[in-house]
């Protein structure tokens, strides 16, 4: 029905442009601004170079790194991922990273990994969904992300749509 299509399009556009507003608060924005003033200039050239190499806006890579590690080159999670881009040991080895704590290597490899994930998505995935889905795969790993795509298909959701996958991803925890 045309009405359903129109309603879905409006919901998708609303999510794309306003979906983040409930998660960004004054404290978070203030902390980000403080961290940007203290740390970002030190690493900006690495983000710009890596973004240029893979056709990404450097600010996207910087935002991903902030989300992963708050631009802390020595970051470590309980799962063993390390560095500014929070690389697993296997991913770092695959991308020839000798030191995950070296910001330049971490940013270069994180950008390459993100590019590889984006390229692994089916050709049916169009922008901007392709970028959003690649970010999700970066965070989850491609195996878990493909599991979520399979769940989406079983629920009659579009696995190529970020709007629909965003609702499916929490189901992986079950």
Give catalytic residues, as residue numbers.
68
Q: What is the enclosing helix (H) or strand (E) of 15?
A: helix 2-18
Phi, psi of 87 (to 5 degrees): -90, 140
Nearest to 62 by CA among 45, 82, 81: 45
- Give the ranges where 19-141 is alpha helix by DSSP (H): 26-35, 41-54, 58-69, 89-94, 103-120, 129-140
Which tokens is 37 given? 């003033």
Q: How far apart are CA 96 and CA 98, in angstroms?
A: 6
Task: Give the bridge partners for 173, in sequence order.
Answer: none
């Amino acid at each position: 029905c045309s009405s359903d299509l129109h309603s879905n399009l409006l919901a998708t556009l609303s999510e794309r442009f306003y979906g983040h507003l409930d998660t960004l608060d004054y404290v978070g924005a203030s902390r980000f601004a403080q961290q940007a003033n203290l740390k970002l200039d030190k690493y900006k050239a690495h983000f710009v170079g890596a973004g240029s190499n893979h056709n990404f806006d450097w600010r996207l890579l910087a935002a991903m790194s902030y989300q992963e590690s708050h631009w802390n080159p020595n970051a470590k999670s309980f799962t063993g991922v390390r560095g500014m881009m929070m690389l697993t040991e296997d991913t770092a080895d695959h991308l020839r990273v000798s030191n995950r704590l070296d910001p330049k290597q971490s940013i270069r490899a994180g950008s390459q990994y993100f590019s590889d994930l984006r390229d692994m998505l089916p050709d049916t995935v169009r922008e901007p969904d392709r970028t959003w889905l690649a970010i999700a795969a970066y965070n989850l790993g491609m195996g878990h992300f493909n599991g979520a795509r399979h769940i989406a298909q079983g629920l009659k959701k579009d696995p190529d749509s970020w709007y629909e996958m965003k609702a499916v991803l929490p189901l992986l925890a079950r």
